[in-house]
Amino acid sequence: MTDAIHPPALRVTDDMACPSGDWTLIALTPRMASLRRALADAGATRWDLSELTRLDSFGALLLWRAWGHRRPDQLMLPPAFDAQFARLDALGDAPVPPHPRFGPLDALAALGVAALSLVQHVGDFLALIGRLALDGLRLLTQPRQWPIKEFSANLFKVGVKAMPVSALVGFLIGVVLSYLSALQLKAFGADIFIVNILGLGVIRELGPVLVSVLVAGRSGSAMTAQLGVMRVTEEVDALSVMGISRYVRLVLPKVMALSVAMPLLVLWTSAVALLGGMMSAELQLGLSYGFFIETLPKVVPPANLFIALGKGAVFGFLIALVACHFGLRVKPNTESLSANTTASVVSSITLVILVDAVFAIATRSIGVPV
């Protein structure tokens, strides 16, 4: 037996078929099509396998399928290859069950499952808030148990490290908004209203929502993925076994950090966006920086700033909660991790915009100069 490959072949004389050479995957691969045809056309009743030099389970399977899933009545089989066919004989009794097809009933079931899972999500989300509240209350009596270090690390991660990107996006949005508004306002000769539009728009609405979308994509997804991988590697279970609450040690610091970091990020991003708008206004309309800065507090009541900070805190709280909710649901497989991370980002952005609408209605009479 040498390493050289004996090319597989099939010789048919009368009703006697005689495969020869190496019937192995490697040797068969280049000659697959012609051999398949030869096997299909063979139509032999007698088979002689004594000229085979090698046979692996793939080659055996090809022959076995050509025979119609059973040994032919007249078969010359060298004992060396008997084991290959013995396994195939056993297979005939218990084939692998086929995948069930997806029918209309399955579609209905899938719809039901989706509806139920939505209910379950809402329930679990409320339970998460409840647990967090209970743990928070318990921690009031045990001030040493507060996860201060984790809080500080998270604050740095979601707050300080997000500053460059939020500044860049804020600045560009400010410039674009100012540029587009300036074009319109110039036509009406209402140049100085650029301060009102930018001030109110950015501070009250655009700043918090913009930062929320950024943070949900940046920090929310990271939180979900981190918790998810910790689930996969059983780190979360290890914490539980040590008697350490995953809510106190993992969820609480994230929620606290994002609730604190978000208002600060909103402040920072709005400021940079206004800077961008101010520079654009100066270039487009010739509005001096001094005038802009002087006018801003007059046309934008300070209440707007507090609304923005409040929104920031609430949005941050929600994004972190949603991220942790989905992170703790990850099952130990890659598919679940990716599905939950996607769901986390999509849900938190949707939720933020929903809550923003509620804010808009609730605060419609506050801070808007009439």
Partner 1 sequence: MSAPARPPVVSLRGVSTRFGTNWVHKGVNLDIPPGEVVSLVGGSGSGKTTLLRQMVGLLTPSEGEVRLFGEPLFAGSREAQRQRRRRFAMCFQGGALFSAFTVYDNIAFPLREAGIASEAEIRDLVGLKLAMVELQPSHAALMPAELSGGMIKRVALARALALEPELLLLDEPTAGLDPTRSASFVALIRDLQQQLGLTVVLVTHDLDTLAALSSKVAVLAEQHILAFDTLEAVMQIEHPFIREFFLSERSVRALARGQGS
Rounded Cα distance, 252 and 107, in Å: 39
Closest C-alpha among 254, 7, 38 to residue 154: 254
With CB under 8 A as the contact rule, the residue among 7, 78, 332, 369 that binds partner 1 is 332
Question: Which residues 95-124 are close enough to bind partner 1 by CB under 8 A?
Answer: 95-99
Closest CB 106 distance from partner 1, rounded Å: 15
Say how many residues touch partner 1, by CB under 8 A. 33
Q: First-to-last CA distance in the chain?
A: 97
Closest CB 64 distance from partner 1, rounded Å: 8
How many Cβ atoms are within 10 Å of 283's Cβ, its own excluded?
13
Q: CB-based contacts of 50: which residues, under 8 Å, 6+ apart?
A: 76, 78
Q: What is the DSSP letter of 164?
A: H
Residue nearer to partner 1 on the CB measure, 84 or 181: 84
Task: Measure Cα distances from 65 to 28, 39, 346 in Å.
Answer: 15, 9, 50
Closest CB 309 distance from partner 1, rounded Å: 43
HSE-CB of 197 using CA atoms within 13 angstroms: 20
Q: Is 333 helix (H, G, I), strand (E, B) or coil?
A: coil
Closest C-alpha among 276, 262, 324, 270 to residue 125: 324
Q: Which stretch binds partner 1 (CB under 8 A): 43-51, 84-92, 110-118, 359-367?
A: 84-92
Q: Quick one: CA torsion of 21, 26, 32, 36, rounded to 10 degrees?
A: 60
Residue 62 interacting with partner 1 (CB under 8 A): yes
At 76, phi and psi to the nearest 5?
A: -95, 105
Closest CB 28 distance from partner 1, rounded Å: 8
Residue nearer to partner 1 on the CB measure, 202 or 225: 225
Residue nearer to partner 1 on the CB measure, 224 or 348: 224
Residue nearer to partner 1 on the CB measure, 240 or 334: 334
Residue nearer to partner 1 on the CB measure, 59 or 277: 59
At 75, phi and psi to the nearest 5?
A: -135, 125
Residue 290 interacting with partner 1 (CB under 8 A): no
Residue nearer to partner 1 on the CB measure, 36 or 121: 36
DSSP lists the bridge partners of residue 23 as: 55
CA angle in degrees (0–180, nearest 5) for 203-205-209: 110
Residue nearer to partner 1 on the CB measure, 96 or 137: 96
Residue 65 interacting with partner 1 (CB under 8 A): yes
With CB under 8 A as the contact rule, the residue among 57, 226, 295, 363 that binds partner 1 is 57
Closest CB 26 distance from partner 1, rounded Å: 7
How many Cβ atoms are within 10 Å of 173's Cβ, its own excluded?
19
Residue 25 interacting with partner 1 (CB under 8 A): yes
E strand or H helix at 53 = strand 52-55
CB of 255 within 8 A of CB of 317? yes
With CB under 8 A as the contact rule, the residue among 40, 76, 83, 153 that binds partner 1 is 83
Residue 94 interacting with partner 1 (CB under 8 A): yes
Q: Which stretch binds partner 1 (CB under 8 A): 20-28, 135-143, 223-231, 236-244?
A: 20-28
Residue nearer to partner 1 on the CB measure, 61 or 343: 61
Residue nearer to partner 1 on the CB measure, 87 or 298: 87
DSSP lists the bridge partners of residue 55 as: 23
Burial class (CB in 10 A: 0-12, 13-18, 19+), 315: buried
Residue nearer to partner 1 on the CB measure, 298 or 331: 331
Residue 2 interacting with partner 1 (CB under 8 A): yes
Closest CB 239 distance from partner 1, rounded Å: 20
Residue 87 interacting with partner 1 (CB under 8 A): yes
Q: Which residues bind partner 1 (CB under 8 A)?
A: 1-3, 24-26, 28-29, 32, 56-58, 61-62, 64-65, 83-84, 87-88, 90-91, 94-99, 331-335
